[in-house]
Chain A
Amino acid sequence: MSVSLARDLTEAVGAPRAVFVKWPLGHPLGEPHAPLQQRTVIFRALLLLVTASQPGVIEDLGLRWRREVYTEPDWSKLEGIEP
């Protein structure tokens, strides 16, 4: 399960699953001291980890840099998803 900051590169190396954020290099989880933003990326990545059904899926999270309002993810959505 990978975070991608460079979609073309992630496609080229054949990552099994990835979530893509069009953010500056060096910021795969987002901004410093922004735990809700960071946890949102982790949540979306883990959701893809447990739901992806084919190799090479790259999900564009569509999150704009410094222009989103984040809330705590509903982690219960990850419960009970059987492989």
Chain B
Amino acid sequence: MNRFYAIPSVAQLWASRAAQRSATLVAEDGSIPFTRLSKPLSAARGVLITTGGVHLKTQPPFDMENRDGDASYREIPDNVALDEITITHKYYDHRDADADLNVIFPLAHFHELVRQGVVGSLASRHFGFMGHIEGEQLAALMQRSAPEVAAKLRAEGVDFAFLTPA
């Protein structure tokens, strides 16, 4: 757990350096994927995806020993009780997120938005990743985990994803 990065200016400095290492993540032609919503938000299906190390207490925690991180992911049922969720991630200070999961995984807010009719529906499962992925784990993320999750989202008719970093 690192309080150092709780200082916004320090976080921005870290981000700049991380960005320089991330040039290989974009398409070779520099293009950015973009798809417009095909329906009004009130009819659209959303999913939450976070890299904050969120998972069920009954699931294996993310690997904190591998210096390259852990490219695996955890499925979080939409109807989960919030007290069944925990966070495993030692590269950011998640004490506030532990106190109120909405800080990083706003499932309760999105349930309310569905009740209000602002959002059409939510996927039956959401996805928890761990950030801080490098080296071999980055390759596994791009070649295995990300395509797997994308296929699951397509199969369930998800229209948009709401992504929250750590």
Does A12 lie within 8 Å of B23, measured CB to CB?
A: yes
Does A29 lie within 8 Å of B164, measured CB to CB?
A: yes
Give Cα distance in the complex from A9 to B76, angstroms: 26
Does A29 lie within 8 Å of B7, measured CB to CB?
A: no
Does B11 lie within 8 Å of A25, measured CB to CB?
A: yes
Contact among B5, B41, B92, B99 for A49, CB-based, below 8 A = B41
Interface size on B, residues (CB 8 A): 55
Residues of B within 8 A of A5 (CB): 11, 15, 165-166
Contacts A5-B11, A16-B32, A35-B102; A25 near B6 (Cβ below 8 A): yes
Residues of A within 8 A of B109 (CB): 35, 38-39, 42
Give Cα distance in the complex from A23 to B11, angstroms: 8
Does A26 lie within 8 Å of B166, measured CB to CB?
A: yes
Nearest chain A CB to B134 CB, angstrom units? 13
Residues of A within 8 A of B38 (CB): 83
Please classify the interface of chain A as helix (H, G, I), strand (E, B), loop, or mixed, using the class held by over half of its residues.
loop
Contacts A29-B164, A35-B102, A39-B109; A50 near B37 (Cβ below 8 A): yes
Does A12 lie within 8 Å of B22, measured CB to CB?
A: yes
Does B118 lie within 8 Å of A24, measured CB to CB?
A: no
Map CB proximity to A onto B67-96 as digits: 1 under 8 Å, 0 otherwise.
000000000000000000000000011101
Contacts A3-B165, A31-B96, A32-B97; A8 near B8 (Cβ below 8 A): no
Leading 3 A-B pairs by shortest Cβ distance: A6-B15, A55-B34, A32-B100
Q: Which residues in A have some Cβ–Cβ distance to B below 8 Å?
A: 1-9, 11-17, 22-33, 35, 38-39, 42, 45-46, 49-50, 54-56, 65, 75, 78-83
Query: Can you spell out 12 A-B residue pairs with CB atoms less than 8 angstroms apart?
Result: A2-B165, A12-B25, A16-B34, A29-B106, A32-B97, A33-B100, A38-B102, A38-B106, A50-B40, A54-B34, A78-B41, A78-B42
